[in-house]
Structure 1
């Protein structure tokens, strides 16, 4: 959701300077933004593509020690009363999304494997991929670790091959949603063949109860454990909102409707996008409509 004059909504990049590791930086590598030819109508979807070399380097970069260090480097205060440690069947589909941000700092978001034609798509927030209204500021060294829990990576690490976002996010900070396409794992297995995929719904009516999940950088978890809010959605400021106090690191985490802690399955209807204040009580997420569908379709076709 874009900043508006009627609310103090703040992006889930952490307080102050964001989720950064002081003194840690990765030289920014070149990424390619796929654009339509000058003679064609503007493509509503912007695609950030990482080369095979960049993807290999990303897998090498995110060592166990580096992952441990980035979590220890951030403390966004105590976990709020609405966010509880997730209890239930292990969620293979939800994991931490590690990357180096446009400022050169190690950080993370949350992402979710979803059902897709190529069995390789995951959903997150657009601000986990690139800064809004700033086409040149993109993130690098991006990998997805599904099922992450307290240092354990039971399903391996998947390098992000492409990241699709709405063109409106790239240019105007509108529609904070992204769909990732990831490589097969080291054994050649595709993402959802390994962890399964959540269903995803577009143009779904608001008003139902959802579970919002994410790897918040609040203590004591500090990104090491999946947290969950449960609330009923309503429309506000052109987006949907639920009561929730997850914060930085939970960005991009799924909103799952009809969610069962027994099966670990639900239907993704949005992702964590922004908060109402520095001391959050509300979580905002985009209403997944035609634009989000185009972003998702682009990712599942790569």
Structure 2
């Protein structure tokens, strides 16, 4: 298990604690760090295959007891990726990558509904996580935890990956379903499961809704994600202790005492609070950021950390995602959550996702 140091216990936001080897690599990305990009669904045929899997009945019955199992670090001699993947240089300069991104309202609304769930499979098992839509020039980017999109143990991306913003408690999809097109992450996540880089930006296809027809369902195009729900902004290189942040997500898993105070069906928030540096040696986490007084449990993985959140507009600026939950006093309840540090390298990965194009029609 993750070692108890100073009576702090860190756990992946998953259905179980992890048995993990220690690593000695340096977690800080070098200036020439590379984005690791993996294709999820490329064509309209691919989108239809994924969509058909997540028909209304399956979404309605998605198991609240199976939030994503966080990936353990990969062994030093990982197998070749089974998903089409490429390491690519950053498409922008470091100076450009470090610039903030302003939040954006939906085209026809006065408030955003960016937060939601991602549903996917690893192997033959379904999982889900939390996520949020992010403002981007392609109007089609979702931020989540990397372990909600790519498993370094298998060197493989998730299958049947979709984002559902503002989901209903019974599987309703009022703002559409968005199939993942490609996932952009840091190579140190894909290569060794380094939790300093447990974040991913997923470019998604145009959305659709299921419409009843002739006793079945057909896909109806609803347009681009950002146009429909808006997009959170981004703030990078904010030193912990200099700002407060609110965390969001759909917690569902058990607390350390075995209780289940959350059902995963409702969006929850850990209200704005201070941040500080944290680390977990066995997870290779050297530059984690911790938010105290947060009792999130599995299911909240990938949910956004927002600075300057405006409840009337539903918008703020992304500065992290839920990655690890902490039981700092080793008692019966989680009491903190942490995110990787969002720096200029994060900006490079985000801008790669924001620059991707997808087909103009998927239905």
Matched, 1:255 2:305: yes
Q: 1:173 to 1:298 in 2, by over 3 A?
A: same
Aligned ranges 1:281-300 → 2 under 5 Å: 281-300=335-354
2:291 to 242, 253, 256: 242
1:106 to 107, 126, 129: 126
Q: 1:279 to 1:131 in 2, by over 3 A?
A: farther
**Equivalent residue number for residue 104 of structure 2:** none
Deviations 1:196-235 (A, max 9, x none): 1010111123232211111111456522110110221111
**Equivalent residue number for residue 171 of structure 1:** 191
Q: 8 Å contact 2:117–2:165 — kept in the other structure? A: yes
Deviations 1:38-68 (A, max 9, x none): xxxx971111102323322211111222223
For the pair shown, the structure with the greater C-alpha radius of gyration is 2
Q: Partners in 1 of 2:12 and 2:304 — Cα distance? A: 16
Root-mean-square deviation (Å): 2.5
Deviations 1:255-296 (A, max 9, x none): 011112222111110000011248421101011012211210
Q: 1:273 to 1:62 in 2, by over 3 A?
A: same
Matched, 1:137 2:156: yes
**Equivalent residue number for residue 47 of structure 1:** 37
Q: 1:15 to 1:70 in 2, by over 3 A?
A: farther
Q: 8 Å contact 2:249–2:267 — kept in the other structure? A: yes
Matched, 1:94 2:115: yes
**Equivalent residue number for residue 14 of structure 1:** 15
**Equivalent residue number for residue 24 of structure 1:** none
2:51 to 47, 59, 62: 59
Q: Partners in 2 of 1:44 and 1:4 — Cα distance? A: 31
Q: 8 Å contact 1:135–1:170 — kept in the other structure? A: no
Gaps of 5+ in 1: 18-41, 77-88
Moved more, 248-257 or 226-235: 226-235
**Equivalent residue number for residue 191 of structure 1:** 225
Q: 8 Å contact 2:66–2:128 — kept in the other structure? A: no
Give the length in aligned residue pairs. 262
Q: 8 Å contact 2:130–2:302 — kept in the other structure? A: yes
TM-score by length of 1: 0.79
